[in-house]
Structures are given as structure tokens and as C-alpha cells.
Structure 1
């Protein structure tokens, strides 16, 4: 396996590292950075990224990723896992969906090296993380006082993405159109297959949604051959319902 380079940090086969990707400084001259956890197996396999809190008030994904990176299941990892529990660090600190200038980070991709804070963050995340992955799972919740039924949103017209969505193992899959400026759209342009997991509401930890997210991500990793198959008795999977539209 070739060494992986993220933000100037080299991660070799068999290594686990926690990296800080520096962003801009606050008006207090405090440097803000995005925390990244990277685990590389000793054997070849796909590269999967996990991301959460692109909207800073969506908390379930933070705990989902925290549980995954501390799980015994990933000890036998093949390939590479790149986990980013807080993409929009500013929003998390301020309990806000948006960045300080009220821009939506998930409408700011692919971004640019120069420009608004959102543009620079989007550019860095896309090029340092997403472009280096074969697959991705992005974790979201509903808005404030709006709770989403656990669901996968993805381009289900793509056969491989549909297989990944089914492997996640939740009852509802939504064939969602790509939105301009979204992470999903830019990941698709790069050839990275991506699932978006929606469950629960903003500013709340929902234990059922978190457990489903952890189990689903582990199932996807097993489907990709990154983890050993479970030795536990496998329950018969329910065929998911595929929706073509959604509403409140």
C-alpha cells in the first residue's frame, strides 16, 4: 500500500493517526482546525470516509463516528478509514447549522482556495478527504424541532450505490436528486460513491438513530470487504422501501 498524504501528514499501512487540518483564524487569533481520524489496515482494501456535522447543529453523526472509531470491529480493517466527526467546527461550537457568515457549507462545494470561509472549508475538505476516498457516508439529522425517520439518501439509479444503500440495512431509501453545491454532487463528480444518512433532529442525541447509524456503517464496511463478516447469526434482512420523493 502506498502511503496516504493528508494535509502534509503521511499515514502508512498499519498506522492510526489523529490529524488536525488547519482552517482560518478567529478574530481572537485562535487557529481553528478540523479533526480527522485515519486508520489504515495492513492489507489492501477500499478507502471510506465518514463525515458528520457539515451542519453544526446536527449532532447524531458526531457520536456515530465516535463509536465507530472506538469499536473493536475495525481492529481487523482492510484498506483505509478516514473519519471526520466535525466538519463545520464553527457551527458545532455555536450550536448553529451555518457558518458565522450564515453560509451553508453543504451548498458551498467545490469551494475555492480563496474566497469566503465556506468556500475555503469546502475546498479543503473536498481535496484533502473526499478526493482520496472511493466511498463515503455523510451523517445528517433533520432541522430544529423536525425529526427525520432514519433513511438513506443517495443516487439509487447507480447500481453500486444502490447495493451500498441496501447493505446499510435500514427500511427506507430515498432516491434523492443531487443539489448544486452539495457534498454529494461534488463527490459524484469525483467518482466517489456516497450515502447520506438522515435520522433524528438537530441539537438532540437520539440513541436509536445513533445505533442504527453505527450498525449501518459497519455493515457497509463489511459489504465492501473492509471488515470480516460477522460470526453472529445473521437475521433475514427486510427489503427496503425505495421512495422517489419526500415531504414534511
Structure 2
């Protein structure tokens, strides 16, 4: 007995085959069409539809590297259900290595989008209308913006039981409770009753082998748990839960030296870093305000007063 047809972007996706479709974005003024490749692997057996998506910010290349490796290792070939991969979502930003869309907007603040809005809004609308309704689970891969280096982590709402269960299965070093941001992809998919995990790892414009490996292994775990692929769950350690967090900001401008490892647990009054002027006249230490975990570090060498330096947990 055959399962019902699976239609995506107006095309019927055959069972047991690899299909590559193009999500059309726009034409450049040179008449060149810009398309986003959508790679679909459908098994011959029924099961959930999982979307793996990266590059919503064009300069966040670690996520692109994770999906590339998943395809390279053929992890995206399911025994049951369907796996959709969109390795580079914001193709414009990826080509010129910028976070934003060409209209200067953050694509991840434009959902669910509008058919008559800005270019980013129209693209978000196309995804929300054409792809989002057909998926059950989504893993959205991100990195820290600029020089902010995130320890590998899954972000989800503490009230989303299905996402939290899969976050544990993903088995990242840290699980960070964070509320949905209005007009983000996560917020929109959540309202559509889809289960979404947001992965953060590393910083922009890098291909970090450790982060990529953690992303691949975690995704594999989730696909095994959902029954799409076969295998044994890989469990390294119990994730650290960050239930509340805050940023430590620079009290001075100057040259910034980090004295602590990202992901470390530090004790109150421990020195996290030092800010110095270039003339050797002052040196200010940055202390941990309490016992806490560090899960993001700003790796920029020069900071201004007020810059976010360390993202730390607020221990209960």
C-alpha cells in the first residue's frame, strides 16, 4: 500500500529517491536568478519529516559545515520518513559573508514574512508558506555573531517539553533555556506546532572541527531517536543546564585578554579576563560575580566600555 504523495515547492517527491529543488529568491539586476538548493531524501517507509537548516545568517558557516558533513556521511538518507537539508538559507549573505540580507535586514526577524514586504520578508513568507507546513521537526544551526564564540549548545524554551526531550537526546555540552524571539524562525515554527531545536556553536566566519563534530553527532542522535535512521545513541556527558543567564560587560575600553576557557565553570572572584590600555598605564581585571558557567566569550582583541564580554549562567 503506497503512502500519500509528498509535494514540496509544487513538485511531487518520489519515494526512495534523492530530489534537489530550488527555492527561488530573486533575480539580480544582471538577470541572474538566485536559488536556494533544497535537498530532499525520502525513504520508501512512512515517518516524520525533519528539516535541517543552516545559514539563516550568511556569515555563520559552522552550521553550513555541519549539514555538509551530514550529507557527506549520508546521515541524511533515512530508513523511514523524510530528511530535508537546506545547507545555505541566506544565499545572498553567504556569497558575500555578511549576516544580513541585501536589504540590510536580519532574515531571522522577518518571519512569517509578507508577500508584498521587503526582499527578506518576501523570502521568509515563501519559506513559511511553501516548506514549513510540510515538516514536523526542525534543527536550525547558528553560531555567535561577529567575534562572539558560543560553546556548543541547544537553545529551547523550558516549557516546550518535546523540544527539551530532544535537546537531551542531542546531548550538547549545554542546554540553554531561552524564550522565543518575536518574528524569528523559531517563534513562527513554534506557533505552527512544529518542534524546533536551535543549535548554537562557535562564531561567524569559521569552520570549527569540534563544533561541526558536536553538531553532526547531536543531529544523528535526534534522527535515531525519531526513528529516521538506525544506530546507537552517542552520549558523552550530561549537559549543563543554563536556566537563567546574563552578560558581563566591559567597564572600561581597551585591549582585551581572556584568561578563562569557554564552557568552564568558574568560582566567584575568579579572574575571567583583563582590559589594558595600549600605553601600559592601566590594567583592569574582570572578576566572576558569582559561581557560574561561561557559555559564550567575545574574542575581539579591542573592546569599548559597555561591550558584552562573557555570557554567564546565573546559578540557583
TM-score range, shorter chain: over 0.9
Q: How much has 1:78 moved relative to structure 2? A: 0.8
RMSD in angstroms over aligned alpha carbons? 1.4
> Which residue pairs with 2:215 in the alignment?
213
3-state SS of the aligned residue for 1:38?
strand
State the secondary structure of the residue aligned to 1:179: coil
CA positional deviation for 1:19: 0.9
Contact 1:130–1:136 (CA<8 Å) still a contact in 2?
no
Partners of 1:7 and 1:128 within 8 A in 2: yes
More strand by share: 2
Aligned to 1:244: 243
Shift of 1:72: 3.7
TM-score after normalising by structure 1: 0.94
Aligned length: 245
Match in the other structure for 2:152: 150
Deviation at 1:31, TM superposition (A): 0.8
Relative contact order higher in (CA < 8 Å, ≥ 6 apart): 1
After the TM superposition, list the runs of 4 or more consecutive aligned residues in structure 1 that deviate by more than 6 angstroms: none
Question: Which residue number in structure 1 is paired with residue 187 of structure 2?
Answer: 185
CA shift digits 1:137-192 (9 cap, x unpaired): 00000112111110000123222111100010112101110111100000001111
> What's the CA shift for 1:235?
6.1
Which 5+ residue runs of structure 2 have no aligned equivalent? 248-309, 311-316
Q: Is there any run of 5+ residues in structure 1 with no aligned partner, and where?
A: none
Larger radius of gyration: 2
User: 2:9 touches 2:131 (CA, 8 Å); kept in 1?
Assistant: no
Alignment of 1:85-164 (within 5 A): 85-164=87-166
| Closer, same or farther: CA 207–155 of 1 in aligned 2, 3 Å | same
Stretch of structure 1 that moved more, 91-100 or 238-247: 238-247
**2 CA distance for matches of 1:236 and 1:27?**
50
TM-score, length of structure 2 as denominator length: 0.75
Taking structure 1 as reference, are residues 33 and 165 closer, same or farther at Cα in structure 2, changes over 3 Å only?
Answer: same
Higher helix residue share: 1
Distance 2:120 2:235 in 1: 44
SS of alignment partner, residue 101 of structure 1: coil
1:174 aligns with 2:173: no
**Using the alignment, how far apart are the partners of 1:236 and 1:225 within structure 2?**
17
